[in-house]
Each structure stands twice: as C-alpha cells, then as structure tokens.
Amino acid sequence: MSIIKVAILGFGTVGEGVYRTIQSHAAEFTAVLGKKVEVAAILIKNKHKNRDVGEEVLLTTDFDEILGLPQLDVVIEAIVDKEPTFTFLKKAIARGCHIITANKEMFAHHGKELLDLSKKNNVSVGYEATVAGGIPVIQTLRQLLKINRVSLIQGILNGTSNFILSEMREKKQSFAESLCQAQENGYAEADPTNDIEGFDAFYKAMILSRIVFGEEPEWRDVERQGITSITSELIAAAEKLELRFKHVASISREDGYIIASVKPVLVGNENPFYHVEGVENAVNVHSDIVGRITLQGPGAGMFPTASAMIEDLVYVCQSRPAERNAVKITAECIGSSKTVEQKEYWLVQGLAESSGVTLVEEVSEGILLIEAAKKDLDVLAAQQPGICYFSILGEIDLSVLNKAAVTVI
Amino acid sequence: MSIIKVAILGFGTVGEGVYRTIQSHAAEFTAVLGKKVEVAAILIKNKHKNRDVGEEVLLTTDFDEILGLPQLDVVIEAIVDKEPTFTFLKKAIARGCHIITANKEMFAHHGKELLDLSKKNNVSVGYEATVAGGIPVIQTLRQLLKINRVSLIQGILNGTSNFILSEMREKKQSFAESLCQAQENGYAEADPTNDIEGFDAFYKAMILSRIVFGEEPEWRDVERQGITSITSELIAAAEKLELRFKHVASISREDGYIIASVKPVLVGNENPFYHVEGVENAVNVHSDIVGRITLQGPGAGMFPTASAMIEDLVYVCQSRPAERNAVKITAECIGSSKTVEQKEYWLVQGLAESSGVTLVEEVSEGILLIEAAKKDLDVLAAQQPGICYFSILGEIDLSVLNKAAVTVI
C-alpha cells in the first residue's frame, strides 16, 4: 500500500495531539484514503527534551532537513508565531507539499498569499483549525454551503473571553478574578492580550470573511473591542434586561459592502449564543436558502484542534485541483466597509446628560438603555471619552422593563 | 458551456422550492460546477393545474417520458410515499442518473439497496434532506468527520413534536391545544401520526445509524415512543427539576452494539437541546477526537429542504467514484442492540406503591423522581400498564430538590 508522508512543525499541545491521533486512527486513515499515513519528521525547538515518539520519526530543529526528505506529502504546522512559520510554509508549498495550519494570526496576515501560491503549485491548504477549534465551520462553508449565499456570519470565536464572561455572570466575580480563573485553568496565557482585547477573534473573523465573501474589509475599518471594559455592574444591568454579554465577531455584506466588527454585544434568550457558556465556541451562519444554522462545539484544546487538522489531512489528500482552495464565490461585487446609519438599542455607561439621545430606561445607577444611531454614539464617544456602549443583537423585549416610555436626555 | 440536465419528481412545497432555487442561483451553479444546471422535466400529478414554470420544461405525469429524455443527469425526488418513488429511483439509477431524495420513509426502508445499486452503476445518491431539513448533518458526517469515531449521535429530528412540546411548556397548553396550533401553522398534517408517534424521527434515526455505524439495529429492537403521553402535569413537574421534555432520537455504539431509541427524554440546562424550541432541529454528535459538536437549524420548510437538495446537487455532480456513497467506516465490528443495565434517574407517573424502586422525590401529585435500571422499569411496566417513565439525559442537579434523601417504595 502506498504511503502518505507527513511532517509536523511544532510539538506543543496541538502538534502532539496531531501525532497521537495519527497513531491511534491508522485504521481510519487506511480505510478512508486507501493509504497509510506516516509521520516522517517533527520540527522541535529543543533537541535534548525527551519525547515519546517512534524512532522512525526524524526529530530535528532544522526545517531544511525536513524539506530534504526523499518523500514529503503534507506539512502540518502547529507553531504560534507568524515567522518563521510563513516562510516554512511557503517553502513547503514550493516543495510540492499540501499544508495544514492552525496559526490564525499568520493565516489572517498571509492566507491569501499562501492560497495563491498553493494554486500555482497545485497543492491544497487546510486551515480548519484556525477558526473555532474542532467545529468544522470552515469546511461547512467551503464544502457544504457552495450554493447558499451567506449574508451574515456571527461567531463566539474566543473561548477565553467567553469563559471570563460566563464566570463573571455565574459567580458574580470581577473581570480580574475571572481572568485569574481562566489562567489557572490554562484557558488564558500569561499575557492574555490577544484574547481579551479581541485580536484573536479579529484574525478569525478576517479568515471567515475571505472564505464567505472572497475578501476582507479594510482591517482599519473593522471595529475591534475586547472585553476589558465589561464590569460586574454592566453584567448585572444586562441581566435585568434578560440579556447576556457575548464577545461576538460579526461579518456581513450589505449593499455590496463587507461590514465587520469584533466586540462585546448583548444577546437575548432567543439567540443560540445566549446559551453558549465557558470555553465553547459557536457560529451562526445566515444564508439565503437555508436560513440560520448554528454550529457549536469546543473552540480549543489538544484534541479538538487536532481533530480539525486530522480531518483537513483527509481533505487535502482527497481534494481535486478544480476544487482546491476554492473560496465561496459571490455573484455580487464587494466594496469596502461602511458605517451603519439606522437607530438601534444600546446599553450605555458614562453618558453625560443632555447628550441628545433617546433614553428608554435607566437600568441601574449610571447605566442606560438608549436608542440611537451608531454614528451619533461614535460622535458622542469622541466628545465624552468616558462612554462605553454595547449594541443588542436582534430584538429586545421591552416588556421586561418597568416602563417603556421614552424621553430624550 | 456543458449543461447538467435535472428532473424534479413532484412539484409540492419542496419540489417547487428546488425549482425556484435552481433558477435564482444559476450564477452560483455555473461558478461552482463550471456547468449550467437546467431543469429538463418535472413529474406532476395533475396536468391541468396551472404552474409558473418555463416552457422549456417538460411537465408530465409519466415518469417513463422523463427517463426517455435524450440527456438526463440527475433525478431529484420530492414525493412523499415509498412507492412508486423507490421504483422510480431504481430506474433512474439504472438509466445512469445521480439521484437526490428527501423521502425519509422510503430511504429508511430502501436506502441500502439504492446505495448498493448506485455503486454498481457508478452514480451518487444525495440524501441530506432526509434528516434535519436544512442542517447539513449528513454531509458533516460523510465528508467532515471521516477520521473521528462517532460513539453517540442524538437529535431533535421532528420539528412538529418539538413545536408541540415548546407550546405546551411556554403557553401552559394541553397536548391537544398545541397539536391544533401546529396544524393551524401548517407544521402538522391532518393525520399527525407520523410526527407525534415518533415514526418520522425513527426513520431519520435509522438513516443516521447507517451513515455513522455502517448499519442499523434491528428495527424491532429500537424503542420508539411519541409525545402523546406527555401531559401538562408532567411538563410542570419537569420544570420543578429545571428539566425540559424533548423528543430525542439517540443512536450509540457500546461494546460493539448499536443501541437506538426514539422517545421523549428530559434534558437539563447544560444540554444544547434544552434551548432548542419550536420547529427547530438539532443534532449532537459525540466523537472520540473532537468531542461533542452541535448543529442546529431549520428542520423543515420549502427552502431549508430545498437548500439540502441543492447542495446535494453540487455534491453528486462533483463526487468521485472512490468517495461515492461512502458510509462512515468503523474500525470495530457491530452486533445488534442490547438493553442497558446501569441505574439511571427517571421521572415516573402511575407507579404503584411497593414497586421496589428507589424514590428520590415526589415531584408532584403522583409524579416521582426515581432511580432504577431500565430493565427493572420495563418489567414493572409489563405488570403495571398505567406507568409512563422518562429518562434524564446527562446529570441531574439534585440541589434543586427540597431534599435529596432517598427511600425505597
């Protein structure tokens, strides 16, 4: 039986998960691919560390040694930084290898270039693991929704932020306490900036935008906000309105423009996101034929991430040139982002009086439910730096309010 | 550009949805397939009914006239009954056509034969629309989870039953009132037997079993129960325990046996099913690598069902012989069903005293929370015909009970 030779770059949590899974699921690979899958080499940092890996596997710190192997079919990348990863993967493609990556930051920056390069070299790129861990959202969009026109995709894409928001609400903890909790559980890194400031979710959103709409909005036009401004008071006020804070990435096309944002929003009980707690991820896909479908599952972790890369391994080995790296086509043209004009409800804190917005209800001390257009709030925010405001996804049920009479402040 | 010629059997809600979608999404088909998709013929019942269909389309009541067309590539079937549908599709396969069906009852009975036949004739079968309407659960299992070993799949697969249970709980209505409501909304047919007695969900479960485990349990061994035994009292008792009734199809493999059931069960807030309301469908897939992922979306309706068939149309046109109609392989052998032995919690009504089971709590008048093994309850049920009992999926939080002391009755 012929053999597929694989190299794994990095032997951290994910890299080891991929290696173990290839060993434990040999029977499945053989049955599905009709070929044996063999890990030929692993790129490591420290040669002296003891690792439980078969002797037939080349352990090396030198990527060129891996490229020099007589047979190499797929390179699976599980390193963190943008570089040298990007350089490695370009070389792998030039060498004629399919590549599989879990590196969202690198792929958000260089995905287009890698996809173009792979087309030229007639190889495939698997990047399911870059978004929503084990949830097969990218392959659902690439393979299962080819005719549906996606108009909006929303996701809880950062498990760390979602865990912190869940802890704050359930245990009535402060942000700081919940962050510590996340770090103790290994859900947040020593420097949590990427997660809590929304960079991680932003990169994932840009990757989704490219799949769904064929391109990305101007990065500078994308509103990116983390969860650091969410206080216990805000969470309590939201609960009074039967709403929950979720950190949501949203990418939509309106009148041929891509509009994207990554920020905390408020969702009601009717939205599947309301019930997504802890480190789970979830994605709502709105398409013109099927309507809204929701995918939910583990957004990170050794084996969920390995699962995405392992299934990608089958995908890249089976995909045909014609289908390779196809992004979802759209029959319409796409411009750059624009700002939304219509009035919405907002939960606002730190708003000065006589701001000219419509007050629906003072939910609690200094926290207001108002109705306003985003552009007007942006203007106010420029004048009143203290303000923070959060939009409400979908309808709000005003009947939960004591009164629904509105005044202008 | 070459053309793919399609025939649609039946022009009811689904058939018309498929026809309209092929017209409205011509650009997507061309972009994805590199070919034009044309509806060449539609099989209708009544020739004299006026239909808004292009003149180039052959409208006929005679299937053989369709088979006789000079070019015919795909037959899309949207008829209800097992026959003549099965006969039609066999002929279509023999004619060298790919087939696509939404007919769960027919496919549950004859799917294996159609798949075998299609293999011989080197064509593909698309049946995404037979289970969970627009949710791409079948293609997720066929195409996206090829290496993951699925151990358990649970689904809310009948929107009508779920709608009735939601209405009963939310509006404190009787079963009869909620059924009428479902019929008024067009969610239930004049004869609702198929839905409310669990036959529809049973057929879907058997189709899932074949995909996931390569075969089905003995049909007679599958516990099938509808929702007609659910009363307002039971729903109220469940709410005291912070549980909700859901009609759940469950297919699992334990020690090489397939165990399947289709019945109302109780789920807690931690289960994604708890929040699935109305006509929505949802499926939990438990696999060894990724863990649990949940797919949720519209389980029926003109366009959700059309979406499934339309995406199948791309699938059958693109699939290669090697991959065609592959069912998920399992590295283990599979026997027939067996009964479960371990003790579980149950909500029971109509249990006589001195039944020898462990009482956890009398939740309300005559409705008990007990702990027992299923086989013992089955024995009791044979002796005490009045009994109905419902298992609880996952953990139950005994802290919601006034007391957690247990006695034997």
Output the pLDDT for position B188. 87
What percentage of chain A has pLDDT greater than the value 90? 72
Interaxial angle between packed helices B26-33 and B13-24, expressed in degrees from 0 to 180 and rounded to the nearest 10: 70
Report the distance separating Cα A253 and Cα A260, nearest Å.
9
pLDDT digits (tens, 9 = 90+) for B73-118: 999 999 989 999 999 999 999 999 999 999 999 999 999 999 999 9
Residue B323 has pLDDT above 90, yes or no: no
Interface membership of A303 toward B (CB under 8 Å): yes
Q: Which residues of A310-348 are buried (b: 16+ CB within 10 A; e: fewer)?
A: bbbbbbbbbbeeeebbbbbebeeeeeebeeeeeeebbbb
Q: Which domains does chain A have, with CATH numbers?
A: 3-127 (3.40.50.720), 150-297 (3.30.360.10), 344-408 (no CATH)
* A274 interaction partners in chain B (CB closer than 8 Å): 275
Report the distance separating Cα B87 and Cα A100, nearest Å.
45
ipTM of the complex: 0.91
pLDDT digits (tens, 9 = 90+) for A66-112: 999 999 999 999 998 999 999 999 999 999 999 999 999 999 999 99
Q: Helices marked H in A333-396 — which ranges? A: 374-383
Q: Do A309 and A126 form a contact (C-beta atoms < 8 A)?
A: yes
Residue B312 has pLDDT above 50, yes or no: yes
Output the pLDDT for position A386. 85
Neighbours of B293 (CB within 10 A): 29
**pLDDT tier at B331 (50, 70, 90 boundaries)?**
very low
Shortest CA distance from A272: residue in chain B = B275
What percentage of chain B has pLDDT greater than the value 70? 92
- Rounded (5°) CA angle B263-B265-B271: 125
Interface membership of B293 toward A (CB under 8 Å): yes
CA-nearest of B243, B196, B252, B244 to B224 is: B196
Nearest to A307 among B148, B313, B331 (CB): B148
Q: Is the peptide bond before B70 cis (omega within 30 degrees of 0)?
A: no
Element (H, E) at A391: strand A388-391
What percentage of chain A has pLDDT greater than the value 70? 92
Q: What mean pLDDT comes out for the span A253-281? A: 92
- Rounded (5°) CA angle B383-B384-B386: 150
Q: What mean pLDDT comes out for the span B147-163? A: 96
Shortest CA distance from B324: residue in chain A = A32
Output the pLDDT for position B256. 81
DSSP A15: H
Cβ contact (<8 Å) for A298 and B290?
yes
Output the pTM of the full model: 0.92
CA atoms within 13 A on the CB side of A48: 0
Tell me the nearest-neighbour CA distance from A205 into chain B, angstroms: 20
Structure tokens at B174: 């009787």
pLDDT digits (tens, 9 = 90+) for A31-51: 999 999 999 999 999 888 888
Cβ contact (<8 Å) for A147 and B320?
no
Interaxial angle between packed helices B302-318 and B26-33, expressed in degrees from 0 to 180 and rounded to the nearest 10: 20
Please confirm, yes or no, whether A204 is among the known catalytic residues: yes
Shortest CA distance from B133: residue in chain A = A290
Structure tokens at A189: 């890194």
Mean pLDDT of chain B: 90
User: Distances from the Cα of B285 to the Cαs of A274, A276, A366, B74, in angstroms?
Assistant: 21, 17, 45, 30
Q: Helices marked H in A198-240 — which ranges? A: 199-213, 232-240
- Which one has a higher pLDDT value, B259 or B335? B259
* B318 interaction partners in chain A (CB closer than 8 Å): 323
- Which one has a higher pLDDT value, B333 or B151? B151
Region of A135 on the Ramachandran plot (φ > 0 left; ψ -120 to 50 alpha; else beta): beta
The residues near A77 (Cβ < 8 Å, ≥ 6 apart) are A9, A10, A85, A88, A89, A99, A100, A101, A102, A103
What residues are paired with B249 via a beta bridge?
B155, B262
Report the distance separating Cα B54 and Cα A148, nearest Å.
23
- Rounded (5°) CA angle B191-B201-B168: 65
Residue B304 has pLDDT above 50, yes or no: yes
Output the pLDDT for position A330. 56
Nearest to A289 among B144, B269, B306 (CB): B306
Report the distance separating Cα A388 and Cα A234, nearest Å.
10
Nearest to A290 among B291, B303, B326 (CB): B303
